[in-house]
Amino acid sequence: MDDKRGRLAQRLKQPGLVVAPGVFELISAKIADGMGFDCLYATGYGVVASHLGLPDAGLATYSDMVGRVAQIAKMTRTPFIADADTGYGGLLNVQHTVQGYEAAGACGIQLEDQEFPKKCGHMLGRRVIAAEDMAAKVRVAVDSRSDRNFLVVARTDARTTLGLDEALRRAERYLEAGADVLFVESPESVDEMRVIGERFNGAPLLANMVEGGRTPLLSKNELEGLGYKIAIFPALGFLAAGAALEAVYKTLRNQGTSKSLATPLYDFQKFSALMGFERIAEFDRRYRA
């Protein structure tokens, strides 16, 4: 059996930035899976939007999410980290969530220090729990995994409401508690990102690149130079899909046909192959002849 977690753990020890596109359902996951990325990121915002049609505001449950995680793991070969919000409750919930995500096939879990109900990390009004309470969640997460290569990503949302210094203090606590990757959410300038990189030189850092978000969008070389090891692009896929769907549906509504679309379309035969119809044809040839 392919050791996806081991591959990701080894990749993080090698030079260079790990670029992880956001996947939010199985079409995006299967397309990204075939493109040679070292890692994917199962975005909570995107999964909640695609699965429930609701905002990323603490409305999705553990059950909503773990099923999506399991299906992504089943249908992809690329290692991926999965968003788990606050762990869906207290310390016992965190243990249950970590064990469930690991059993589902994720290669890492992202936990954050927001109060429940949480909000998207690039929205205003986020409130955080006490740092010691989040450090306890990190310790529980680390102790609850059965595979040492299952990554625990600790995120702090303190920057927006409490300032960068408090966010840095919290990240230090979470690193001491055993976090494998630190995620200081929504720094608002390159200078702030540089401070984060200098403060945690040597610790794996994650940058959240949200198009239209609060953090500057930087190049791969710029992020590497600032000391980041992983860059997630959680919104890119669903923002692109949303724009494309709006464009083609608008044309269809106005013209009554898809005959002269300006928006590029995925080739139908290629898409059918992506979904596995060739296997179905082979099955039919074997058993229905």
User: Got the DSSP string for the chain?
Assistant: ---HHHHHHHHHTSSS-EEEEEE-SHHHHHHHHTTT-S-EEE-HHHHHHHHHS--SSS-S-HHHHHHHHHHHHHH--S-EEEE-TT-SSSHHHHHHHHHHHHHHT-SEEEEE-BPSSP--TTSS---B--HHHHHHHHHHHHHH-S-TTSEEEEEE-HHHHH-HHHHHHHHHHHHHTT-SEEEE----SHHHHHHHHHHTTTS-BEEE--TTSSSPP--HHHHHHHT-SEEEETTHHHHHHHHHHHHHHHHHHHHS-STT-SS----HHHHHHHTTHHHHHHHHHHH--
For residue 236, the domain's CATH number is: 3.20.20.60
Give residue 115's pLDDT: 86
Q: What is the pTM of this model?
A: 0.94
Asked if residue 126 belongs to a domain, the reply is yes
Asked if residue 140 belongs to a domain, the reply is yes
Asked if residue 251 belongs to a domain, the reply is no
Asked if residue 280 belongs to a domain, the reply is no
Exposed, middle or buried: residue 70 (CB in 10 Å: 0-12, 13-18, 19+)? middle
Rounded to whole angstroms, how far apart are CA atoms 42 and 212? 19
For residue 254, give both structure tokens: 């106005």
Domain range for 29: 4-241
Give residue 1's pLDDT: 43
Asked if residue 270 belongs to a domain, the reply is no
Asked if residue 62 belongs to a domain, the reply is yes
Placement of tokens 């990240």 in the chain:
171
For residue 68, give both structure tokens: 């999506």
Asked if residue 198 belongs to a domain, the reply is yes
Number of domains in the chain: 1
pLDDT in single tens digits along all 289 residues of the chain? 479 999 999 999 999 999 999 999 999 999 999 999 999 999 999 999 999 999 988 889 999 999 999 999 999 999 999 999 999 999 999 999 999 999 999 999 999 999 876 766 566 667 999 999 999 999 999 999 999 999 999 999 999 999 999 999 999 999 999 999 999 999 999 999 999 999 999 899 999 999 999 999 999 999 999 999 999 999 999 999 999 999 999 999 999 999 989 999 999 999 999 999 999 999 999 998 6
Asked if residue 152 belongs to a domain, the reply is yes
> How many CB atoms sit inside 10 A of residue 274's CB?
16
User: Going by C-beta distance under 8 Å and a sequence separation of 6 or more, which residues neighbour residue 29?
Assistant: 23, 40, 42, 72, 75, 76
